[in-house]
Structure 1
Amino acid sequence: MKYIQKNILTTILLIAFLFVNAACQAQKSSVSNKNINIETKKKKKKRKIKLPNIDLSHWKVTIPEGEGKGKTINVEPPEILNYANNNILKPYMYNDSLSGALVFYAYPSSSTTANTKYSRSELREQMVPGNDHVNWTFAQGGIMKGKLAMGEVTKDKDGKYHKVIIMQIHGRLTDQQRDLIGQKDNNAPPILKIYWQNGKIRVKTKVLKNLASTYEEMLHEDAWGDDDGYTFEDEVGFGKFTLEIKVSDGKMVVILNKTNYKVYENIHMKKWGVFENYFKAGNYFQSRDEGSYAKVKFYELSIEH
């Protein structure tokens, strides 16, 4: 009898052990499944579509698509607002939804603007949407801010990255000024070019060759020469960085990453006041090498006047 009772007790203990063990395994499985569900949700969150913080209602874009020199395609507001569904624009201007950037792609093309040999996928400010004839002077002032990064860029035969102009302030003649000097178009020199050059930011501006030039003489492009340029010490490489351009009467300031300043406040800036201007931003690719290209990523871009 004692033997039977002992066996019964052993059996009961074994059943109890198996029940508790099964419960623990179920709990572990539940925790494991919960963890898997949490990880799955995290991955889904990581894949969430990001969009750039850019209002394109006051920009038109020029792309290297057309039928030769001076035959590029321009897309203005309101059409540019639907760029993601524009088949002509898609190869040159598109969203990178993983990083939240607007990408500008350019490569050497036979389609260039009239006054250059280089191609571009570049935005041009329009104070009045669809109208290139309304612009601003230094006396009126302006600010352009951007957060951007070099996405991809090829190298030249010497192993150096090809240069890309990422921001500009371009001069423009009024119709009256154009007619005064007998020029066929309204083009004037760019007072500011900002380059991405081998991982650093380089700034170029203009100087008046003869400070005694008359008003009419100053309107000619050949009255202005290039300065020596300035390269910011900090290297941006392929990481994100910010640029801010502030313009006021006789003064221009370029700010890199909110802490590095280059200030232009001199007679040349004062003299530049004869011109109207507009901001540009994007990818003005500075190479004709076969197989070369660049992709510039803009996360934020804004203008104020």
Structure 2
Amino acid sequence: MSSFRNIILSAILLMFLSVNANCQTQKDNVSNSDVKVEKQKKKKKKKKKKKVKLPDIDLSHWKVTLPVTNDKGKPYEIEPPEIEDFASNEIAKPYMYIDSTKGAIVFHAMPTASKTRNTKYTRSELREQMVPGENNVNWTFKDGAYMKGKLAMDEVSRDDNGKYHRVIIMQIHGRLTNEQRDLIGEDDNNAPPILKIYWDKGKIRVKTKLLKNLNAQVPEILHEDAWDDDEGFNFEQEVGFSKFTLEVKVSDGKMVIILNGNEYKVYENIHMKKWGVFENYFKAGNYFQSRDEGSYAKVRYYELEVSH
């Protein structure tokens, strides 16, 4: 009888130990499950944080012109150092803003009453300032210059024929010195742009200037009507709405435009040599080429760098 009782007690003890072990295992499993869930939550948070991207663009040597007027009825501009805080500028927000999901600055332009001098079009466009806040310090071809941008067309409207509107996305603009301006009796320092790069129906198109009279000297050569437009050049590759890279290299008597590192257009001729008389500055962004009602364009810039 005693032996039977011992067997019963042993069985009960084993059952108790087994239940305890199962409970502990379940606790461990629950604990491990909680740890896994917590780790997954942390991973998700990390992934969400990684989605926030900022463009690789230093704006300390640029000012921007926006398609809206200031209190004097002129195009609204933001110069350094204020431009570095453009994202919090309420006036700038609709026309120049950060897309943190793509890591780009978006330049948005459409027809408005805000037109810069000598043009019928509006812009949301950067203007290089070698000395921040100063327009009177610029460069010549002899000085040399380099600009590289990584960008993409974000959105653009179509005309009545269903074709996309054109946008100038990069420029080299000429500038008269104060002495040259006074010499030819102009009331501003504006000179023609030696380079315009267009996003044109999904392709990249380049336009430059030709001197009409190759024997022209100062002061004749300083007048805008001394120069004519060339026929233009289209790169073969279609960029569409994809991201692409543009490089512009300038040296004495030479200008090179490079698309995606593999297509080149080289200008090395008498016109480039003669252009050496002018000062210049780079422009980049969205110089919208339409006055159609309801038309607009948005250009994304991911990277932009300039050197001299």
Same fold? TM cut 0.5: yes
SS at match of 2:219: helix
TM-score, normalization by structure 2: 0.89
Identify which of 297, 300, 304 aligns with 1:297: 300
Task: Show the counterpart of 1:117.
Answer: 120
Q: Per the alignment, do residues 278 and 70 of structure 1 end up closer, same or farther by CA in structure 2, a change over 3 Å counting?
A: farther
More moved, 36-45 vs 160-169:
36-45
SS at match of 2:77: strand
Instruction: Please say if 1:77 is aligned against 2:80.
Output: yes
- Cα distance in 1 for partners of 2:11, 2:239 equals 74
Task: Show the counterpart of 2:186.
Answer: 183
* Equivalent residues of 2:70, 2:76 under 8 A apart: no
Instruction: Please say if 1:225 is aligned against 2:222.
Output: no
Task: Show the counterpart of 2:216.
Answer: 213
AA paired with 2:291?
R
Q: Per the alignment, do residues 160 and 10 of structure 1 end up closer, same or farther by CA in structure 2, a change over 3 Å counting?
A: farther
Q: Per the alignment, do residues 28 and 70 of structure 1 end up closer, same or farther by CA in structure 2, a change over 3 Å counting?
A: same
* Equivalent residues of 1:253, 1:261 under 8 A apart: yes
- Cα distance in 2 for partners of 1:176, 1:233 equals 42
Instruction: Please say if 1:173 is aligned against 2:176.
Output: yes
Q: Per the alignment, do residues 64 and 21 of structure 1 end up closer, same or farther by CA in structure 2, a change over 3 Å counting?
A: same
Q: Per the alignment, do residues 187 and 27 of structure 1 end up closer, same or farther by CA in structure 2, a change over 3 Å counting?
A: same
AA paired with 1:215?
V
Q: Per the alignment, do residues 218 and 99 of structure 1 end up closer, same or farther by CA in structure 2, a change over 3 Å counting?
A: same
Task: Show the counterpart of 1:43.
Answer: 44
Q: Per the alignment, do residues 26 and 78 of structure 1 end up closer, same or farther by CA in structure 2, a change over 3 Å counting?
A: same
AA paired with 2:67?
P
Instruction: Please say if 1:128 is aligned against 2:170.
Output: no
- Cα distance in 2 for partners of 1:24, 1:158 equals 72
Could you tell me which runs of 5 or more consecutive residues in structure 2 were left unpaired when the two chains were aligned: none
SS at match of 1:215: coil
- Cα distance in 1 for partners of 2:35, 2:59 equals 44
- Cα distance in 2 for partners of 1:300, 1:149 equals 11
Instruction: Please say if 1:97 is aligned against 2:100.
Output: yes
TM-fit CA distance, 1:6? 11
Task: Show the counterpart of 1:106.
Answer: 109
5 Å-filtered alignment, 1:9-24, equals: none
AA paired with 2:44?
K
Query: In terms of Rg, which structure is larger?
Result: 2
* Equivalent residues of 1:69, 1:114 under 8 A apart: no
Question: What is the Cα-based RMSD across aligned positions, in Å?
Answer: 2.6
Task: Show the counterpart of 1:271.
Answer: 274
Could you tell me which runs of 5 or more consecutive residues in structure 1 were left unpaired when the two chains were aligned: none
TM-score, normalization by structure 1: 0.89
Task: Show the counterpart of 2:66.
Answer: 63
Q: How many residues align?
A: 305
